[in-house]
Chain A
Amino acid sequence: MVDVPLGHIGPAHAADVDDVELYHPHSWVTKYVFSQDAKIIAIQYSATALTVGLIALVLSWLMRLQLGFPGVFSFIDANAYYQFITMHGMMMVVYVLTALFLGGFGNYLIPLMVGARDMVFPYVNMVSFWVYLLAVLILVASFFAPGGPTGAGWTLYPPQAILSGTPGGQDWGIILMLVSLIVFIIGFTMGGLNYVVTVLQARARGMTLMRMPLTVWGIFTASFMALLAFPALFVGSVMMLFDRTLGTSFFMPAIVEMGQTLDRSGGSPILFQHLFWFFGHPEVYIVALPAFGIVSDLISTHARRNIFGYRMMVWALLAIGALSFIVWAHHMYVSGMNPYFGFFFATTTLIIAIPTAIKVYNWVLTLWRGDIHLTVPMLFALAFIVTFVNGGLTGLFLGNVVVDVPLSDTMFVVAHFHMVMGVAPILVIFGAIYHWYPKITGRMLNDPLGKLHFWVTFLGAYAIFFPMHYLGLMGVPRRYHEIGEMAFVPASAHTLNAFITIVALIVGAVQLIFVFNLFWSLRYGRPSGGNPWRATTLEWQTPETPPPHGNWGAKLPVVYRWAYDYSVPGAVEDFLPQNQPSAQPASGTIHG
Chain B
Amino acid sequence: MAVALILVLITVGSVVFHLVSPWWWTPIASNWGYIDSTIVITFWITGAVFVAVVFFMAYCVYRFRHQPGRQAHYEPESKRLELWLTILTGVGVAAMLTPGLFVWRQFITVPEDATDIEVLGQQWQWAFRLPGPDGKLGMTDTRLVSPDNPLGISREDPKGQDDVIIEGGELRLPVDKPVKALLRSVDVIHNFYVPEMRAKMDLVPGQVSYIWFTPTRTGTFEILCAELCGVGHPQMRGTVVVQEQKDYQAWLEGQASRNFARLAPAVQ
Distance of A150 from chain B, by nearest CB (Å): 12
A564 touching B21, Cβ below 8 Å:
no
Does A270 sit within 8 A of B, measured CB to CB?
Answer: yes
Does B143 sit within 8 A of A, measured CB to CB?
Answer: yes
Task: Bits for A403-414, please: 1 = Cβ < 8 Å to B, else 0.
Answer: 101101110000
Does B234 sit within 8 A of A, measured CB to CB?
Answer: yes
Does B266 sit within 8 A of A, measured CB to CB?
Answer: no
A159 touching B21, Cβ below 8 Å:
no
User: Please, which residues of chain A bring their CB within 8 A of the CB of B25?
Assistant: 406, 473-475
A269 touching B205, Cβ below 8 Å:
yes
Interface of B: prevailing SS = mixed
When chains A and B are docked, how far (Å) is the Cα of A352 from the Cα of B227?
Answer: 27
User: Please, which residues of chain B bring their CB within 8 A of the CB of A396?
Assistant: 42, 45-46, 93, 96
A477 touching B226, Cβ below 8 Å:
yes
**Which of A128-136, A364-372, A517-525 is found at the contact surface with chain B?**
A364-372
A160 touching B229, Cβ below 8 Å:
yes
**CB interface residues, B 30-75, toward A, < 8 Å:** 32, 34-35, 38-39, 42, 45-46, 49-50, 53-54, 56-57, 60-61, 64-66, 70-75
Does B89 sit within 8 A of A, measured CB to CB?
Answer: yes
When chains A and B are docked, how far (Å) is the Cα of A464 from the Cα of B27?
Answer: 26
Contact count A vs B, C-beta below 8 Å: 320
B101 touching A401, Cβ below 8 Å:
yes
Distance of B118 from chain A, by nearest CB (Å): 14
Partner of B77, one of A78, A157, A311, A477: A311
A382 touching B7, Cβ below 8 Å:
yes
A336 touching B202, Cβ below 8 Å:
yes
When chains A and B are docked, how far (Å) is the Cα of A503 from the Cα of B108?
Answer: 41
B234 touching A484, Cβ below 8 Å:
yes
When chains A and B are docked, how far (Å) is the Cα of A163 from the Cα of B186?
Answer: 13
Of chain B, the residue at the smallest CB distance from A405 is B200
User: Please, which residues of chain A bring their CB within 8 A of the CB of B53?
Assistant: 360, 364, 385, 389
Once A159-B187, A159-B205, A261-B143 are accepted as A-B contacts, the answer to whether A490 and B96 lie under 8 Å apart by CB is no
B142 touching A256, Cβ below 8 Å:
yes
**Which of B168-176, B188-196, B252-260 is found at the contact surface with chain A?**
B188-196
B42 touching A367, Cβ below 8 Å:
no
When chains A and B are docked, how far (Å) is the Cα of A269 from the Cα of B188?
Answer: 9
When chains A and B are docked, how far (Å) is the Cα of A327 from the Cα of B115?
Answer: 34
Does B265 sit within 8 A of A, measured CB to CB?
Answer: no
When chains A and B are docked, how far (Å) is the Cα of A354 from the Cα of B200?
Answer: 29
When chains A and B are docked, how far (Å) is the Cα of A478 from the Cα of B134?
Answer: 40
Best-buried of A256, A351, A370 by chain B (most CB within 10 Å): A256
Does B135 sit within 8 A of A, measured CB to CB?
Answer: no
B60 touching A334, Cβ below 8 Å:
no
When chains A and B are docked, how far (Å) is the Cα of A567 from the Cα of B71?
Answer: 6
Partner of A371, one of B57, B72, B224: B72
B72 touching A256, Cβ below 8 Å:
no
Number of chain B residues close to chain A: CB under 8 A: 100
Does A292 sit within 8 A of B, measured CB to CB?
Answer: no
Does A492 sit within 8 A of B, measured CB to CB?
Answer: yes
Distance of A428 from chain B, by nearest CB (Å): 16
A160 touching B82, Cβ below 8 Å:
no
Distance of B11 from chain A, by nearest CB (Å): 8
A354 touching B93, Cβ below 8 Å:
yes
Once A267-B206, A409-B200, A409-B227 are accepted as A-B contacts, the answer to whether A357 and B101 lie under 8 Å apart by CB is no
Does B251 sit within 8 A of A, measured CB to CB?
Answer: no
When chains A and B are docked, how far (Å) is the Cα of A256 from the Cα of B152?
Answer: 10
Once A340-B108, A358-B89, A369-B64 are accepted as A-B contacts, the answer to whether A335 and B187 lie under 8 Å apart by CB is no
Task: Bits for B70-100, please: 1 = Cβ < 8 Å to A, else 0.
Answer: 1111111110011001100110010011001
Does A123 sit within 8 A of B, measured CB to CB?
Answer: no
Number of chain A residues close to chain B: CB under 8 A: 112
**CB interface residues, A 519-566, toward B, < 8 Å:** 564, 566
Distance of B31 from chain A, by nearest CB (Å): 13
B38 touching A400, Cβ below 8 Å:
yes
Best-buried of A257, A303, A368, A481 by chain B (most CB within 10 Å): A368
B17 touching A403, Cβ below 8 Å:
no
A306 touching B75, Cβ below 8 Å:
yes
User: Please, which residues of chain B bring their CB within 8 A of the CB of A304?
Assistant: 66, 71-72
Does A32 sit within 8 A of B, measured CB to CB?
Answer: no
User: Please, which residues of chain A bring their CB within 8 A of the CB of B241?
Assistant: none
Once A255-B142, A351-B93, A409-B193 are accepted as A-B contacts, the answer to whether A386 and B10 lie under 8 Å apart by CB is yes
User: Please, which residues of chain B bring their CB within 8 A of the CB of A357?
Assistant: 85, 89
When chains A and B are docked, how far (Å) is the Cα of A357 from the Cα of B92?
Answer: 11
A256 touching B85, Cβ below 8 Å:
no
Once A167-B231, A305-B73, A488-B222 are accepted as A-B contacts, the answer to whether A257 and B191 lie under 8 Å apart by CB is no
Partner of B100, one of A310, A358, A402: A402
Once A402-B103, A474-B26 are accepted as A-B contacts, the answer to whether A342 and B108 lie under 8 Å apart by CB is yes
Does A254 sit within 8 A of B, measured CB to CB?
Answer: yes
Does A466 sit within 8 A of B, measured CB to CB?
Answer: yes
User: Please, which residues of chain A bring their CB within 8 A of the CB of B235?
Assistant: 484
When chains A and B are docked, how far (Å) is the Cα of A303 from the Cα of B221?
Answer: 55
Distance of A60 from chain B, by nearest CB (Å): 17
User: Please, which residues of chain A bring their CB within 8 A of the CB of B123?
Assistant: 165, 257-258
A334 touching B201, Cβ below 8 Å:
yes
A406 touching B142, Cβ below 8 Å:
no
When chains A and B are docked, how far (Å) is the Cα of A405 from the Cα of B34?
Answer: 12
Does A127 sit within 8 A of B, measured CB to CB?
Answer: no
Of chain A, the residue at the smallest CB distance from B76 is A306
A347 touching B101, Cβ below 8 Å:
yes
User: Please, which residues of chain A bring their CB within 8 A of the CB of B61?
Assistant: 367, 372, 374, 382
User: Please, which residues of chain B bring their CB within 8 A of the CB of A78?
Assistant: 231-232, 234
Does A487 sit within 8 A of B, measured CB to CB?
Answer: yes
B96 touching A255, Cβ below 8 Å:
no
When chains A and B are docked, how far (Å) is the Cα of A400 from the Cα of B41?
Answer: 12
User: Please, which residues of chain B bring their CB within 8 A of the CB of A516?
Assistant: none
Once A269-B204, A369-B72 are accepted as A-B contacts, the answer to whether A406 and B198 lie under 8 Å apart by CB is yes
Q: What are 24 A-B interface contacts by the 8 Å CB criterion?
A: A160-B230, A167-B231, A255-B205, A304-B71, A304-B72, A305-B73, A339-B108, A343-B105, A364-B53, A367-B57, A367-B61, A371-B72, A389-B54, A393-B49, A400-B38, A400-B96, A401-B101, A402-B35, A403-B42, A405-B200, A466-B17, A467-B17, A470-B24, A474-B23
Please give 10 more A-B residue pairs, beta carbons under 8 A apart, in addition to A166-B231, A370-B73, A477-B193: A157-B228, A165-B124, A350-B93, A354-B93, A358-B85, A364-B56, A371-B64, A477-B226, A488-B195, A567-B74
